Structure 1
Amino acid sequence: MNDVTTVERSAPASLGQRLLGLMEHYRGGESPLAVPVFYRLAGPLDHAALRAALDALVDRHEALRTTYETSRRRLVQHVHEPRPVPLESLRTDGTPAALEGVMRELVRTPFDLGVSPVRATLLEVAPEESVLMLNIHHLSTDGWSGGVLAGDLGRLYRPGGSAVVPRPERPPMQYMDFSEWQRDRFESGALTGQQEFWRSRLAGAQPPALVGRPTGRADGAQRPGTHTFDLPESAAASLAEICRSRRTTTFAAGLAVFASVLHTYTGDTDFGLASMFANRLRPELADTVGFLTNLLVLRVKMPQRPTFQDVLEATQDIVFDALGNQEIPYHLVPQAQGERGAGLENILFQVMAGPEYQLSLDGLEVSQLAPPDGSGSRFDLEFALIPERAGVQGIVWYDQRRFESSWVRRLVDDFARMAVHVAEHPDRPVGEGGRR
Structure 2
Amino acid sequence: MHHLVTDGWSCGALFEELRILYAGSPAELPPMRWQYPQFVAGLAGGSPGRHRTGPATRVLARPADRAAAAAPAVPRAATGSHPGVLARDLDAVNADGLRALARRHRTTLFTVALAVYYAVLHRVTGQGDLAVASLFANRSRPESQRTVGFCANMVVLRTRLPPFATFAALVQATHATTAAAFAKQEQPYQAVPTGSANLGGRVDDVVFQMMAELTHRVRAGDTEFELLVPEAIGSRFGTELALAPRGDGMRVVLFHTPRLAPTDALRLLDGYVTVARAIVANPAAALSTLLRR
TM, length-normalised to structure 2: 0.84
CA distances 1:178-211 after superposition (whole Å, capped 9, x unpaired): 01221233xxxx22120123xx545562011313
1:360 is aligned, of 218, 231, 254, to 218
2:61 is aligned, of 206, 210, 213, to 206
Identity of aligned residues (%): 32
| 142-151 vs 332-341, greater mean Cα deviation | 332-341
Separation in 2, partners of 1:320, 1:422: 22
| Cα pair 2:137 2:152 within 8 Å, conserved | yes
Separation in 1, partners of 2:138, 2:252: 23
- What code does the residue aligned with 1:314 have? A
| Cα pair 1:347 1:380 within 8 Å, conserved | yes
Matched, 1:309 2:174: no
Matched, 1:174 2:174: no
| Cα pair 1:267 1:432 within 8 Å, conserved | no
CA distances 1:375-418 after superposition (whole Å, capped 9, x unpaired): 3322101111123552223432221x212444334333221221
Separation in 1, partners of 2:139, 2:202: 26
Task: Sort the Cα spacing of 1:360 and 1:211 in 2 relative to 1 into closer, same or farther, 3 A.
Answer: same
Matched, 1:140 2:1: no
SS at match of 1:382: strand
Matched, 1:426 2:284: yes
| Cα pair 2:56 2:156 within 8 Å, conserved | no
The correspondence of residues 374-385 of structure 1 with structure 2, limited to 5 A, is: 375-385=233-243
CA distances 1:120-150 after superposition (whole Å, capped 9, x unpaired): xxxxxxxxxxxxxxxx211222232232233
Query: Which consecutive residues of structure 1, in runs of 5 or more, have no partner in the other structure?
Result: 1-135
CA distances 1:300-334 after superposition (whole Å, capped 9, x unpaired): 11212552112111110011111111111232023
| Cα pair 1:173 1:284 within 8 Å, conserved | yes
Shift of 1:266: 1.8
- What code does the residue aligned with 1:225 have? G
The correspondence of residues 94-133 of structure 1 with structure 2, limited to 5 A, is: none
Task: Sort the Cα spacing of 1:338 and 1:408 in 2 relative to 1 into closer, same or farther, 3 A.
Answer: farther
Shift of 1:166: 6.0
| Equivalent residue, structure 2, for 1:246 | 105
SS at match of 1:386: strand
Separation in 2, partners of 1:202, 1:426: 31
- What code does the residue aligned with 2:4 have? L
Separation in 1, partners of 2:130, 2:56: 11
Matched, 1:396 2:254: yes
Separation in 1, partners of 2:7, 2:196: 24
The correspondence of residues 20-169 of structure 1 with structure 2, limited to 5 A, is: 136-158=1-23, 168=29
| Equivalent residue, structure 1, for 2:179 | 320
Separation in 1, partners of 2:136, 2:2: 19
| Equivalent residue, structure 2, for 1:219 | 74
Query: Which consecutive residues of structure 2, in runs of 5 or more, have no partner in the other structure?
Result: none
